[in-house]
């Protein structure tokens, strides 16, 4: 079940909200737990058992880690829990990728495993790992009620596509959270904005990206249309989902942390990753980079730590070489900036450092979307006309005219400009009408359209 579906918008969500606000406070977490499992079961009826098993394992090891705190047993139990959780993730997400490369590089004929990727396994695995590590470090109180822990892990607003909500963020909110009309209204507003990002921008640009990838007529203009559209599509798809998750959280009394902060206004790659997918980058910083020694070590080990983190970041996104290349690409760029380029970027005019960042990020998403190395190189080369392709073509002119308005809205929407406009007194009066209008338009698109997947479901 996706948020941008009629089933969710007009059946599941209204029913859950109605029951949630009718029942007494002591039953609200139970309502969320049951509805979250129903939500997951709707899309993954088989793997709901895997989710339940993972929660039970996390609960048991959390109790054991806390019981033997500051002893060697606590460390052993943490290690075992990590091995089991990461082992399940590797098996379901990376087993066939590993087999494929063993067969390729070692000339073996190992059969592939007939297993599908459980939706959201990367997200809920990382949430459970952060909980266990925080309990081990004494930064979180162990949750002795398995139903409350299960509710935290399976909470449907962020279960299948993030953001990665740490236990410490909502630990106090599990038992004590505020429900006000103002907070609920803010949640509805945020949800509709996220839905609009997804349906009216990401889905529409996704159609252009799909058309490009299936087309044989190429031109420099067409390659640029593809690169810009892909860049905007993935931002509005994922930030739209994060907006919807944060909005839903507020409807149920939770305050999730922000996951995006206008990354396309960044003036360096370092700045970009402070703004993009904040929950993931901060997770790797706190649970991988710092434990490895961070930058408080020798220069060689520091560079090693950075490359390990970005190799894992690429792998987290998918079991394909393009994701690994994508992660290492950013790792190398960040090292270059930290070693010497960063100080020069600070002296450049803002427009130049901004264009530098956008160009490198755009190339990164060409890598991200590439099925193989030859396609990646072809799509990057097409931006500068390699291969003797024409500058423009009738097809590229047609698609520029057809998608120009959406691309322009996407570019403006990726900046804080709309936020500044909506803070005015006039917009506050007109905003409810505008939000209702957006919801109606989104509903029309959902009913009429067929292109509606969330890109981050595969992670």
Distance CA 415, CA 262 (A): 6
Question: Domains in the chain: how many in total?
Answer: 2
Q: Name residues whose C-beta falls within 8 Å of residue 70's C-beta, 6 or more positions apart in sequence.
A: none
- 364 lies in the same domain as 451: yes
By residue range, what is the domain housing residue 311?
Answer: 183-458
Assess whether 402 and 443 both reside in one domain: yes
Do residue 87 and residue 218 come from a single domain?
Answer: no
Verify that 135 and 207 share a domain, yes or no: no
User: Of 124, 159, 177, which residue sits at a domain end?
Assistant: 177
pLDDT at 422: 63
- Answer yes or no: do 166 and 222 share one domain: no
Residue 423: inside a domain: yes
Predicted local distance difference test score (pLDDT) of residue 423: 65
What residues contact 453, with CB distance under 8 A and at least 6 apart?
A: 2
Q: End of a domain among 124, 153, 177? A: 177
Residue 72 C-alpha from the chain's centroid: 35
Q: Which residues contact 420 (CB under 8 A, 6 or more apart)?
A: none
Q: Is there a domain that residue 1 lies in?
A: no
Read out DSSP for 382-433?
A: GGGTTTS--S--HHHHHHHHHHHHHHHHHHHHTSTHHHHHHTSHHHHHHHHH
Q: Note down pLDDT in tens along the chain; length 459 residues.
A: 888 889 999 999 999 999 999 999 999 999 999 999 999 998 878 899 999 999 999 999 999 999 998 899 999 999 999 999 999 999 999 999 999 999 988 888 888 888 888 888 999 999 999 999 999 999 999 999 999 999 999 999 988 877 999 999 999 999 999 899 999 999 999 999 999 999 999 999 999 999 998 888 889 999 999 999 999 999 999 999 999 999 999 999 999 999 999 999 999 999 999 999 999 999 999 999 999 998 888 889 999 999 999 999 999 998 899 999 999 999 999 999 999 888 888 888 999 999 999 999 999 999 999 888 889 999 999 999 988 899 999 999 999 999 999 999 999 999 988 777 666 655 667 788 889 999 999 999 888 765 555 555 555
Q: At CB < 8 A and 24+ separation, what contacts does 181-184 make?
A: 183/250, 183/253, 184/250, 184/251
317 is catalytic: yes
Cβ burial, residue 175 (10 Å; 0-12/13-18/19+)? exposed
Are 170 and 196 contained in the same domain?
Answer: no
Catalytic residue among 179, 277, 317, 354: 317
344 & 358 share domain: yes
Shared-domain flag, residues 233 and 156? no
Both 139 and 206 in one domain: the answer is: no
Instruction: Give φ, ψ of 97 to 5 degrees.
Output: -65, -40
Quick one: pLDDT at residue 456?
53
pLDDT on residue 232:
97
Note whether 47 and 94 are same-domain residues.
Answer: yes
- pLDDT at residue number 381: 93
Last residue within a domain, chosen from 177, 199, 228: 177
Please tell me whether residues 378 and 438 are part of one structural domain.
yes
Would you state the pLDDT for residue 312?
A: 95
* Omega cis (within 30) before 163: yes
Co-location of 434 and 330 in the same domain: yes
Which residues lie below 8 Å from residue 211, measured CB to CB, with a gap of 6+?
Answer: 399
Tell me which residue of 193, 123, 118, 121 sits closest to 158, measured CA to CA. 123
């Amino acid at each position: 079940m996706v948020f941008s579906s009629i089933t969710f918008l007009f059946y599941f969500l209204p029913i859950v909200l109605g029951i949630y606000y009718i029942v007494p406070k002591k039953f609200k977490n139970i309502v969320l737990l049951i509805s979250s499992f129903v939500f997951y079961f709707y899309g993954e009826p088989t793997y709901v058992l895997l989710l339940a098993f993972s929660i039970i394992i996390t609960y048991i090891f959390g109790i054991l880690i806390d019981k033997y705190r500051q002893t060697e047993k606590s460390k052993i139990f943490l290690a075992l829990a990590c091995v089991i959780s990461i082992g399940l993730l590797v098996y379901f997400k990376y087993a066939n990728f590993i087999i494929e490369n063993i067969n390729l590089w070692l000339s073996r004929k190992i059969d592939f495993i007939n297993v599908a990727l459980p939706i959201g396994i990367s997200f809920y695995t990382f949430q459970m790992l952060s909980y266990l590590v925080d309990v081990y470090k004494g930064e979180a109180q162990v949750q002795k009620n398995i139903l409350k822990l299960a509710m935290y892990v399976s909470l449907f607003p962020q279960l299948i596509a993030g953001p990665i909500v740490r236990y410490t963020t909502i630990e106090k909110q599990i038992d004590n959270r505020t429900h006000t009309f103002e907070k609920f209204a803010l949640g509805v507003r945020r949800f509709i904005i996220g839905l609009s990002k997804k349906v009216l921008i990401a889905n529409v640009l996704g159609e252009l990206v799909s058309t490009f990838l299936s087309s044989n007529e190429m031109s420099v203009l067409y390659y640029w249309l593809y690169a810009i559209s892909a860049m905007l599509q993935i931002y509005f798809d994922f930030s739209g989902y994060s907006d919807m998750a944060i909005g839903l959280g507020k409807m149920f009394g939770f305050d999730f942390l922000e996951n995006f902060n206008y990354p396309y206004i960044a003036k360096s790659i370092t700045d970009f990753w402070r703004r993009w997918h904040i929950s993931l980058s901060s997770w790797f910083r706190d649970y991988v980079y710092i434990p490895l020694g961070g930058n408080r070590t020798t220069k060689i080990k520091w560079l090693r730590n950075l490359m390990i983190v970005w190799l894992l970041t690429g792998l987290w996104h998918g079991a394909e070489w393009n994701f690994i290349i994508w992660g290492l690409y950013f790792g190398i760029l960040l090292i270059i900036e930290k070693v010497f380029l960063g100080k020069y970027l600070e002296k450049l005019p803002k427009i130049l450092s901004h264009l530098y960042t956008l160009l490198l990020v755009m190339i990164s998403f060409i890598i991200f979307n590439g099925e193989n190395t030859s396609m990646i190189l072809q799509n990057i080369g097409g931006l500068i006309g390699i291969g003797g392709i024409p500058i423009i073509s009738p097809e590229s002119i047609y698609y520029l005219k057809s998608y120009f308005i959406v691309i322009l809205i996407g570019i403006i929407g990726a900046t804080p400009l709309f936020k500044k406009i909506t803070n005015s007194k006039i917009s506050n009066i007109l905003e409810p009408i505008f939000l209702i209008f957006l919801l109606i338009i989104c509903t029309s698109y959902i009913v009429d359209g067929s292109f509606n997947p969330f890109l981050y479901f595969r992670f």
